[in-house]
Amino acid sequence: MASRFYIETLGCPKNEVDSEKLVGTLLAQGLTATEDESLADVVVVNTCAFIEDARKESIDTIMALSERRKKGARLVVTGCMAERYGDELRASLPEADQIAGFGVAIETGVAVPATAVALGKKPSLALTAQSVPSFDLLNLPRPASRTPWAYVKIAEGCDRSCGFCAIPSFRGPQRSRDVASILREVDELQAKEIVLVAQDLASYGKDRPDELGAGSIVDLVRQVSAKVPRTRLLYLYPSDLSDELIEAILDSGVPYFDLSLQHVSKPHLRRMRRWGDGERFLRRIADIRARAAQATFRSNFIVGYPGETEDDHDQLLSFVGEASLDWCGFFEYSPEEGTYALGLPDQVPVGLMHERIAELREMQDAITAAKRDELIDQTLEVLVDEPGIARSHHEAPQIDGIIRVPLTLPTGSFASVQIVDAQGPDLVAQGADSAG
């Protein structure tokens, strides 16, 4: 019997892409996948290290899987924590048989000879018969998608220096993939909806000025859209949301704008080392709505970044009410090693942070509920993700609400359904099992 592997993925959609690349590699080595960690010969934890809560979840998951794995199974820790805290994890996690940062081959101990690995902040391959590019996660093969949608990572790293973010310190500068490799992956996935992701999606190609260059995301979106019925973009930095990109998104048939705003107070955004202000953001949102009334908006905001005043908070409250975004996430500021903000004065007390975020969430919950109610009695085209569950252009997979549809609609099919009810963030289509 072929040796089996199990992968547990934590964190953002970009990590899910990395895990699927690992799946493709392990399958090519002759291993088979299992959904039962207790049966696996190799257990992989793809960790997240974005904030303290994510790191705690990663450690808890590693320990739980260590307890549940079968005798003799290898436990491999990879992902952001392995990259950022390689030395510390090696010293404090004897349960792990390997801690492998990005671009490092996993030592399965089965099917193929083990590969030597140098651990640390920037793990590197020891000299082996295989070249470093063969372990480049960006361009490793992936199996066909198990769902009608799939994430595709078009770049790694980030060139920005946002005050709260440590990602560039361990993911490195932006590194864009070539168009051909992205389109090949789109074909291989055989998905109906492709969700393009990156740390800084709209900056795609800027790091390759000779062959791609600034604005290359527009042509890429159009080429992907020519291959699949739906193309969705996540994580757009507002300064790079050009008219050309807006038109490409609208032409894709998925007028969904995920804008990385983080705050709206101009002086506070400058403290965060970010561009923009609330007035600019509102004008851009209004402009898009004038072009496409059905456009859907999502954003995320950080609450309690050092120096945030009551006036800053009031500006954010006012913006949330006026912008009336469909979806919003609010996150408490988390002090991170290696970031500009770590040593800033005027830290916001935790209790005040909790109060501010609760106020924002209460307001946004009411806005989201109203936006969902507006869709009742409308007919929407949906993609059926699984029996009884579908999404229109208004809902990104795994992030937003869903639409309950009749169980008779085949998975992977498109259908026009009439919305008859809203239940919190979710919608119910005619003929659906609303309790499903």
Task: Read off the CATH number of the domain in which 194 is found.
Answer: 3.80.30.20
Q: Which of 91, 95, 217 is nearest to 152 (CA)?
A: 217
Q: Is the pLDDT of residue 131 over 60?
A: no
Query: CB neighbours of 282 closer than 8 A, spacing ≥ 6?
Result: 319, 322, 323
Are 286 and 188 in the same domain? yes
Q: Domain containing 96: what range?
A: 4-138
* CA distance linking residue 236 with residue 233, whole number of Å: 8
The answer to whether position 303 is within a domain reads: yes
pLDDT above 70 for 122:
no
Residue 424 lies in a domain: yes
CATH code, domain with 383: 2.40.50.140
CB neighbourhood size of 25 (10 A): 19
Per the DSSP assignment, residues forming a β-bridge with 98 are 76
Give the pLDDT band of residue 118 (cuts 50, 70, 90): very low
The per-residue pLDDT for 187 is 96
Q: Is the pLDDT of residue 126 over 50?
A: no
The verdict on residue 41 lying in a domain is: yes
pLDDT confidence of residue 124? 30
295 and 150 in a common domain: yes
Residues 237 and 356 in one domain: yes
Rounded to the nearest integer, the mean pLDDT of the chain is 87
**pLDDT at residue 123, as a whole number:** 33
Question: Residue 120: its pLDDT value, please?
Answer: 28
pLDDT band at 10 (very low <50, low <70, confident <90, very high): confident
Above 60 in pLDDT, residue 62? Answer: yes
SS3 string, the chain, reads: CCCEEEEEECCCHHHHHHHHHHHHHHHHCCCEECCCHHHCCEEEEEECCCCHHHHHHHHHHHHHHHHHCCCCCEEEEEEHHHHHCHHHHHHHCCCCCEEECCCCCCCCCCCCCCCCEECCCCCEECCCCCCHHHHCHHHCCCCCCCCCEEEEECEECCCCCCCCCCHHHHHCCCEECCHHHHHHHHHHHCCCEEEEECCCHHHCCCCCCCCCCCCHHHHHHHHHHCCCCEEEECCECHHHCCHHHHHHHHHCCCCEEEEEEECCCHHHHHHCCCCCCHHHHHHHHHHHHHHCCCCEEEEEEEECCCCCCHHHHHHHHHHHHHHCCCEEEEEECCCCCCCHHHHCCCCCCHHHHHHHHHHHHHHHHHHHHHHHHCCCCCEEEEEEEECCEEECCCCCCCCCCCEECCCCCCCCCEEEEEEEEEECCEEEECCCCCCC
Over residues 377-399, the mean pLDDT reads: 97
Q: Is the pLDDT of residue 263 over 60?
A: yes
Across the range 104-130, mean pLDDT stands at 38
Which residue, of 115, 138, 161, is where some domain finishes? 138
Instruction: Return d(Cα 349, Cα 301) in angstroms, integer.
Output: 18
C-alpha span between 192 and 215 (Å, rounded): 25
pLDDT digits 0-9 by tens, 204-221: 999 999 999 999 999 999
Residue 434 in domain: no
Q: Are residues 383 and 367 in the same domain?
A: no
Least confident of 97-111, 183-197, 232-246, 365-379: 97-111
Q: Judge whether residue 8 has pLDDT over 70.
A: yes
Confidence band (pLDDT; 50, 70, 90) for 129? very low
Which of residues 103, 138, 173 is at a domain's end? 138
Residues 79 and 154 in one domain: no
**pLDDT class of 21 with cuts at 50, 70, 90:** confident
Q: Both 294 and 400 in a single domain?
A: no
- Residue 285 inside a domain? The answer is yes
* 435 inside domain: no
Same domain assignment for residues 216 and 274: yes
Average of pLDDT values for 17-31? 79
Number of domains present in the structure of the chain = 3
What mean pLDDT comes out for the span 255-272?
97
Give the pLDDT score at 109.
60
- Taking residues 107-124, what's their average pLDDT? 38
Structural domain includes residue 436: no
Hunting for tokens 């080429």 — which residue is that? 223
Give mean pLDDT, residues 160-169: 88
